[in-house]
A and B are shown apart, each in its own frame.
Chain A
Amino acid sequence: MNRTYELMFIVRPDMADEDLDKLVANLESTVTSASGTVKAVDRMGKRRLAYMVHKFREGIYILMTIEGAGTVIHELERRLRVTEQVIKFLTVRVDEEHKRLEKIKALRDSRKKASAQPAAAAEQAPAAAGEAPTADMPAATV
């Protein structure tokens, strides 16, 4: 039940601010009532779309990071589909990706610390270099 999702949706550009806040609050309450947690809400502002969507050339982008099971997203997407102001949405599951990035970061940090101590560098560098190819393998299959 620890899946992390990124939900990005586009809202019509002629929507008022308070309506937008109401919509976001609605979605947040949906998430919490379905036993999920909203990690972050990022309003990316009005952007020009790469192609026309529902006769609009611009849209307001919003990115929500949500933690929960798949049913949370199911319910959320159902609501978004019904909402008329939302013209597009995309959900991406990111927990595996974050795990992979954390692993790479940890590897790089350990390697950096090893090189900072020249005495231990000789032993740790080959060990880290030996880990690096094997660590990349599971990442590549993602």
Chain B
Amino acid sequence: MSDEVKAPAAGERPARPFGERSGGGDRPRFGGGGGAGRSGPGGPPREGGRKFFRRKKVCKFCTEKIADINYKDYRLLGQFVAESGKIVPRRLTGVCSPHQHRLASAIKQARNIALLPFAGRAS
């Protein structure tokens, strides 16, 4: 991604060991520019001064008032599952805690009934 190319040129932050795609296991504490794979923070272009913070991601279920998170609607659940089949952490999707719990149980139920895979790309 073009973001990755600009980051080493900034020079302010230490070089990251690997080019992360979805922030797996990386420190979430750094304000701004942490998640590669999300749209960059709107605001001044990135030149090394990351004083602005990324916009607050909102919970999709709270805003759209989706009350029913069912294991049967695999398309909705599939949005919160990574390419590898893993459940995406809520710091990346912005889901609130109670909804993330329900989402996780629904995904696990869907996995058990072969609507979602345990590992690998969903067909």
Contacts and interface: CB of A to CB of B under 8 A. Distances in A.
A30 B76 CA distance: 34
The binding surface of chain B is classed by DSSP as loop
A72 B68 CA distance: 26
Interface stretch (A19-27, A47-55, A74-82, A113-121): A47-55
B58 interface: no
A50 B67 contact: no
Nearest to A141: B98
A50 B117 contact: yes
B115 interface: yes
Give the interface centre of B102, B114, B117, B118 by most chain A CB atoms within 10 Å.
Answer: B114
B50 to A, nearest CB: 35
Contact of A140 (B98, B112, B117, B123): B98
Nearest to B120: A51
Contact of B111 (A8, A50, A89, A100): A50
Contacts of A142: 102
A14 B109 CA distance: 25
B115 A50 contact: yes
Interface size class of B (residues with CB under 8 A): 10 to 19
Task: Name the 4 nearest CB pairs between A and B, nearest first.
Answer: A50-B117, A140-B98, A49-B114, A90-B113
A142 B98 CA distance: 9
Interface of B: 65, 67-68, 71-72, 98, 102, 109, 111-118, 120, 122-123
Nearest to B74: A50
Given A53-B114, A142-B102, 5 more contacts: A10-B113, A50-B117, A88-B113, A88-B114, A101-B67
Contacts of B120: 51
Contacts of B122: 50
A10 B114 contact: yes
A140 B28 CA distance: 26
